[in-house]
Amino acid sequence: MIRVGVIGTGALGHAIASSLAAHSIPGVELTAIAGRPYSPRDIDALARSWDCQATTEPLTMPGSGANLVVEAAGADAAKQYAIPLLQAGCDVIIMSTGALADMEFVTELKRVAAAVSRRVYLPSGSIAGIDGILSAMESGPVAVRVTTRKRPEALAGAPHFTTSGIDVLAFERETTVFEGNAQEAVAGFPSNLNVALTLATAAGSFDRVRVRIIADPKAEFTTHQIEVVAKSGTMTVEMVNRPSASNPRSSWLAALSAIATIRRLASPLRIG
């Protein structure tokens, strides 16, 4: 039995936990949820409706029986809790892959996971084609380019605009607002570009992933176009994603990718 704890009760964590609470995956149960200390009543209400335990301290989840913990609360939470949870005997799913921009954290994460024989899983999030990139890497290094197109309001508030003085909400036509490598992209758009870090982790280097971000007032949905060049060939994948109903900055597919990852872990037959 896989007993899951979920850190975060925002749009992403809520979607993951509610699916698990509905017993949508055989052999998997929702054991606990963790939320912010200033909203314990809200967490308790969710826990009662989902028939699981509630906590404001994620590190108590192993004591509640969780053997797999899903981080869905942001990069800071991933860096704060992932390693101690591994040490406590849990496998960990990291949704906020922006945390992987911190190479010291990544090095220690790998070291600890290996030392305690636990696993860290990175769902594909709002993109497709990760399996193809990993396969292509067997032929040698790959070069990846991702072009993300979003409505200006989905990008507003990003640090990139604070430092550059650009008013993204003033755009009346599509405008390229950023070009650079994956690490630079996540620094400038930490709430929007988990995609870039997931691709960089798959490709094995920040410098192998170039990122272009387009603010488009006429965009109906968020799109990601991924182009890969490898010795084995080339590939192009385009995703047109519906946003989360409760958070337009997040893709609906991101939550679904976490659920699909848990389903694969519970299945005797794994594809890809």
Question: Are the beta carbons of 210 and 145 closer than 8 angstroms?
Answer: yes
Rounded distance, CA 28 to CA 258, Å? Answer: 13
Question: Are the beta carbons of 260 and 23 closer than 8 angstroms?
Answer: no
Give whole-number Cα distances, 192 to 119, 219, 238, in Å: 26, 16, 17
Q: What is the DSSP-derived secondary structure letter of residue 34?
A: E
Q: Is 23 a catalytic residue?
A: no
The 3-state secondary structure of 61-115, one letter per residue: CHHHCCCEEEECCCHHHHHHHHHHHHHCCCEEEECCHHHHHCHHHHHHHHHHHHH
Annotated catalytic residue, options 14, 23, 160, 224:
224
DSSP reduced 3-state for 239? strand
Rounded distance, CA 32 to CA 162, Å? Answer: 37
Q: Which residue intervals of 120-190 are DSSP H helices? A: 130-137, 152-155, 159-164, 182-188
Matching residue, tokens 């890497």: 137
Catalytic positions = 224
